[in-house]
Structure 1
Amino acid sequence: MSTPLWITATPPATHGELHIGHLAGPYVAADVLSRHLRADGRPVLFSTGTADHTESVELRALRAGRKPEEVAEGYRVAITADWLRSGVEFDHIVQPRRDRGYQRWVQNLFLDLYGQDVIVARTRLHPFCPSCERWLHGAFVMGACSACGARADGSLCHECARPTDADLIDPVCALCGSPGERHRCRRLYLPLEPLRESLADHWASTESSPRLAALWESLLEDGLPEVAVGHPGDWGVPVPVDDFRHHRIDACFEAVVMHLFGYGYDHKPLPERAVHFCEFGHAFCHAVLLPAILIARGVKLPQEIYVNETYRVDAERAHGFGGEAGVWALDLLTEFGSDTLRRHVLEERPHGRRTEFRRDRLERTRQVLETTWNNWLTRLFTTVREDCAGVVPDAEPGGTGWEALRRRLYRAAEDLREAYGPEAFDPRRAVAVLDEVVSCAADFGYVNVFEQRRPRRGGRRLPTITAQLSVAVALTSWAWPVMPEGAGRLAAALRMKPGGPVVPEALAPPAPGVRLDPPSGPVFGF
C-alpha cells in the first residue's frame, strides 16, 4: 500500500474560539483538498493539533484569574466542536495535554537535537518587565518588528513572517504596559546558518507562492537567523536540558514537531508528498523551522505550502444581533450553516491578497444558494412528484440544448478536477464552476418547461427531467468537497451515496423507478 499524501493545517492557539478568519484561512481549504483526494480513491492523512502551550494561553489565564490548563482545555473543546460543525474532518488532532507519550516524545526529540549541537546555548539581551518580574517573550511582549516595522509580539511578525523574539523595537509588557528592560538572558537556540546549503536546496525544490519564495531568498541574503527554541517560564513542555530546567520549549518549535508526532514519522515511512496549509504570518514554522529540523535529523520530505493572507474583519459591517461582532465560527455556523459559510470563505479566500469579511456578502452567498441552487432543485423535485409520481422516469436524458449542455458539463467536471487537485489547487475557481453548472441546469429547466404545454408533447418532457436529475447526481460528488452537508442531503434525496470521484461520468441519472425522497427544507444551506 502506498504512503498517504500528508495534509496539515496550522495548530490554532487555545486562547480563544475559532473565528471566520480561521475558516477562511487553512482549515476549510485543507478539508476541500482532503475530501477530493479521498473521493478519488487516494490515501490521505489529514492532521493538525491544538497549540495549548502558547504564551497567549497563559496571558489570557492571568488576565482572567484562571489556570492556563483550564483556558487551554476549554477552548480546545470549543475549537474541535467548531471544526466538526463546519465539516472539517481531521484524521488526527494532536492534543498536547492528553495524548499519551506526547511530552516525552517532544522532549526526546529536543534532547537529540541538543546532543547533536543542532540546538545550542546563547546569552543575549532580552526584554524583562521589572513590574511583573517576568521575562517578556511571545504574547507577553509587544513592539515593532525590526525587519518591517509592523506591530508584532515576541514570536513571529504576522506581516513579514520573520521571527521577532528579542529583536522587537520598543518592547512593552502586554500584561502591565510597562516598557521592557533589556537584561542578559541565557537561552537555547537553533542556528539555521549551518544548514544553509541544505535549506537552500530544499526551498529550491519546494512548490510555493512568490511571496513565500521572497521570504526564503531574503532570509538567505540577510543571513539565516538563530531561532529561539526555549524561554524562561512555567507554562509549557519543560526543556529537558539540565541547565535549563526552569525553561519551557518554545511554542513555534512545539507546533512544528507536533505535526511529526501526529504523523509518527519515526516509526513509519514518511509520505512521498506533504502539503501544509497556513497563514503567511505562520509560514516560518512550516517553511523554515520544520525542514530545518528534518534536515538535521537526516530526513528528506518533499513539501508544498499553501499560504493565505489575512482575512480582515470590517467591524462596521460584521455586527450580528445584539450589537456584538458576529465573526465567531460558532455564531456564524448557527446562523448560516456549514454549507453557506464554507462556500463563502472559499469564494472570499484571501489567496495572494488580503480580503475582507462583510456580513452583506455572506448574506448574498446565502441568497445565491437559495435563489439558484435550492430554487432549481425544488422545481426539479416538484416536477418529478407531479409528472412522475415521485419516481425517476424511464427515459434517456435529453431535451432542447441537452447535447450542448452535456459537453459543457463535461468540461466543467475537468475544470473542477483541476481546481480541487493539488497540482493547481484553486477552491475559488471550484465555487465559480459549481455556480455555472447549477445556473446552466436551471436555465435548461426553464427552457424545457414548455415541453409540457406542447399539444403533441408525447414523452418529450421526461428526458428533460432525467437530464436535470443527472446534473443533481453529479453534484453529490462535484459539490461534496465544498459543501458536504448539502451534497449529503442531495444524495439522500436521490437515494445515493455522496462523495464520489469528481469525474464527467458522475453525470448520470438515478436508476429508473427509484422513488426520490426530497428533504422538507433547503438542500444547500438554510
Structure 2
Amino acid sequence: MSTPLWITATPPDSDGELHIGHLAGPYVAADVLSRHLRADGRPVLFTTGTADHADSVEVRALRSGREPKDVAEGFRTAITADWRHSGVEFDRVVQPDRDRGYQRWLQDLFLDLYAQDIIAPRTRLLPHCEACDRWLYGARVTGACPHCGARGSGGLCSTCARPNDGDLIDPVCVRCDSPGRPRRCRRLYLFLEPLREQLADHWRSAALPPRLALLCENLIEDGLPDVAVGHPGDWGVPVPVDGFPGHRISTCFETAAMHLFSYGYDKKPLPERSIHFCEFRHSFHHVVLLPAILVARGVKLPQELHVNETYGIDAESAKGPDGRPMVWALDLLTEFGSDTLRRHVLQTRPLGRRTDFRRDELHRTQQILDGTWNSWLSRLFVAVREDCAGQVPDVEPGGDGWDALRHRLHRAAEDLREAYGPDAFDPRRAVSVLDEVVRCTVDFGYVNAFERRRPSGTGRHLPAIMAQLAVASALTSWAWPVMPEGAGRLALALRISPGGPVAPEALTPPAPGTQLAPSSAPVFGF
C-alpha cells in the first residue's frame, strides 16, 4: 500500500470534558484498530481534531460569563488529557485556533466551492430571539426535528442525523427560553442536489452500514438538502465571501473539512483506504459533507464507516460511592484504570442499538480482570519465584493437554487477527477471545499443578509453567490493542517488548534464565 490507511474519529465539541459515552463511541474502538495495524507493521495515520468553534462552546461561554476562546482552550486541554489517560494515541489532533495556516486553509477551501457555485447565497427563514436579539441556530436553539419529531438542538438532529437548520418546529432560545420568531436571513448554503449522481455513486461503492445506507437513500428520495454553511455570529472562522460581514463558517462544514486538514490534503495524495469512526448522530459530516466537498473538487475518497449508536447514561445506575453520578472519563479512569474502562466500553459498545452504561457492570469487568487474569498471573509468578528462583526455567513448554491447548491458542490468534483487522473489525469479539485464552490457560494451570507433588520425579511441573509463560508472553501482543497499559506492565515483568504482531508466533516464552520482574500491583486494571 503506497499510502497509509487513514483512520479518523469525530472531533468532539470543546464545550466539556469527555464522558464514558465518548470513549464507548469512536475513540477507543478506532485506537484498537490503529494499534493492531501498527503492531502488524502496516502504515497508519490516525487523526481527529477538536471542534473549538462549535455553537455549544459559545453557549457554554454565555452561561458561565466567559469568553468562548477561554472555554475552548480549557476543555481542549481536558479532552486531550482524557485521550492520553485512556490510551488513545492520535498521530494528529487539529487545534483550530493553534494550528498555523488552518484558518486560511479553511477559508480557501470555502472560497473554492463558492467559485464553483457549490456554495451560494440564499435568503430563507431562520428563527430569531427578539429578547436576546440573536439568530437561533445550532446549539443556540432547541425544537422538534421536522423529519423525525425528536426534540433537540438545531443543525443536525441527534436522532435521525438529518439537517434541520431553520426548519425546527416550535424553536426556543436556549439562553432565555423565548420562542424563536421566523425572520428572513441571507446566508451561504452548500447545494448537494447538483452533486446527486456523484454522491449516489459514492454511497453505492462505499458499502455503507444499513442505517447509513437508509439515511442516504432517504436523502436521495426526498431531494438532497441545501446545507447552511455560514451563520451570522461572533464565534468561529469568518466567512471569506464579500457581502457577509459578521458571518462565521458553520461548525457542520468545518468539522467535515477538518478531517482533510488533519490528513494534509492538498499536500499529498489521499489514501487508497480510509476508515471513519463516528456516532450516528454525527454521520452526516462523514458520509455526506466530506464526500460532497471532495467530489465537488473532482476527488473520490474510498470510505468505510464504523458507526455506533448512543451510549446511554442513567444517572441512578452511574452513581459513585459519594452518591454523585460518575460518568466523566477522568473520574472513571482514576478509579478503575484504562484497561478496565477500555475493555468495558468495547464489550458494551452500542452497535445497531442503544446500550446503557451501568456502574455495576463496570465493577463486574474489573472483577473479571482481578479474579481471572490477575489471579492467574499472580499464581504463575509465585510458581516461578518459588520453584525456579524467579528465573524462566530451561525446559520446553509442555504439560498434560498442552498440545490441544496450543492448537486452540493458534486458532485464537487467527480469530484475534480477524477481529482486530479492518475487514472484519469486531473488538467485542476480540475481548471474548482474549477471555477464552485466559480461561483455558487457567484450567491448564490447575490441572498441571498436581505434577509438582508427584513423588516419581522432580521438575515434572516445569514444562507447564513454561507453557503458561508462553501464553503470558503472547498476551503482551494479543491484548495490546485492547489493554495497552496492562500489556505493557506484563511485558515489563517478563522483560520482553510489548505490542508485537497478533500472530501464533507470539506464543513464545521469555528466554530460559531470564530473571522475571513482576510488580506487586495488579497487571491489568487496578
Q: How far 1:520 moved relative to its partner?
A: 1.6
CA contact (8 A) 1:145 1:151 kept: yes
TM-score by length of 2: 0.99
Aligned to 1:226: 226
TM-score by length of 1: 0.99
CA contact (8 A) 1:451 1:457 kept: no
Aligned to 2:174: 174
AA aligned opposite 1:349: R
CA contact (8 A) 1:7 1:275 kept: yes
Give the Cα separation in 2 of the matches to 1:28 and 1:85: 12
Give the Cα separation in 2 of the matches to 1:410 and 1:291: 41
Give the Cα separation in 1 of the matches to 2:158 and 2:411: 40
1:462-521: CA deviations, max 9, x gaps?
110110000000000000000000000000000010000000111111111111000120
Give the match's secondary structure for 2:243. helix
Q: How far 1:300 moved relative to its partner?
A: 1.1
Aligned to 1:375: 375
1:16-49: CA deviations, max 9, x gaps?
0000000000000000000000000000000000
Give the Cα separation in 2 of the matches to 1:495 and 1:413: 22
Give the match's secondary structure for 2:140. strand
Aligned to 1:72: 72
Q: How far 1:333 moved relative to its partner?
A: 0.4
Q: How far 1:316 moved relative to its partner?
A: 1.0
Aligned to 1:385: 385
Aligned to 1:437: 437
Q: Percent identity?
A: 75
Q: How far 1:324 moved relative to its partner?
A: 1.7
Gapped regions of structure 2 (runs ≥ 5): none
1:86-137: CA deviations, max 9, x gaps?
0000000000010011101100110111011110111101100000000001
Residue 240 in 1 paired to residue 240 in 2? yes
RMSD: 0.7
Give the Cα separation in 1 of the matches to 2:428 and 2:353: 13
Give the Cα separation in 1 of the matches to 2:2 and 2:217: 34
Moved over 6 A (4+): none
CA contact (8 A) 1:2 1:43 kept: no
AA aligned opposite 1:391: Q
Give the Cα separation in 2 of the matches to 1:337 and 1:383: 27
AA aligned opposite 1:70: D
Give the Cα separation in 2 of the matches to 1:520 and 1:460: 28
Residue 346 in 1 paired to residue 340 in 2? no
Aligned to 1:32: 32
Give the Cα separation in 2 of the matches to 1:321 and 1:445: 37
1:47-83: CA deviations, max 9, x gaps?
0000000100000000000000010000000000000
Gapped regions of structure 1 (runs ≥ 5): none
Give the match's secondary structure for 2:495. coil
Q: How far 1:410 moved relative to its partner?
A: 0.6
AA aligned opposite 2:44: V
Give the Cα separation in 2 of the matches to 1:418 and 1:158: 32
Q: How far 1:152 moved relative to its partner?
A: 1.9
Aligned to 1:470: 470
Aligned to 2:453: 453
Moved more, 430-439 or 315-324: 315-324
Give the Cα separation in 1 of the matches to 2:118 and 2:457: 80
Q: How far 1:252 moved relative to its partner?
A: 1.0
Aligned to 2:19: 19
AA aligned opposite 1:158: S
Residue 162 in 1 paired to residue 150 in 2? no
Q: How far 1:421 moved relative to its partner?
A: 0.5
Q: Where in structure 2 are the equivalents of 1:17-416 lying within 5 Å?
A: 17-416=17-416
CA contact (8 A) 1:466 1:509 kept: yes
CA contact (8 A) 2:452 2:459 kept: no
Q: How far 1:430 moved relative to its partner?
A: 0.4
CA contact (8 A) 1:236 1:248 kept: yes
CA contact (8 A) 1:153 1:164 kept: no
AA aligned opposite 2:264: G
AA aligned opposite 1:175: R
Q: How far 1:367 moved relative to its partner?
A: 0.3
Residue 422 in 1 paired to residue 417 in 2? no
AA aligned opposite 1:104: R
Give the Cα separation in 2 of the matches to 1:265 and 1:72: 25
Give the Cα separation in 2 of the matches to 1:409 and 1:113: 54
AA aligned opposite 1:113: L
Give the match's secondary structure for 2:184. strand
CA contact (8 A) 2:55 2:138 kept: yes
Give the Cα separation in 1 of the matches to 2:396 and 2:158: 56
CA contact (8 A) 1:493 1:517 kept: yes
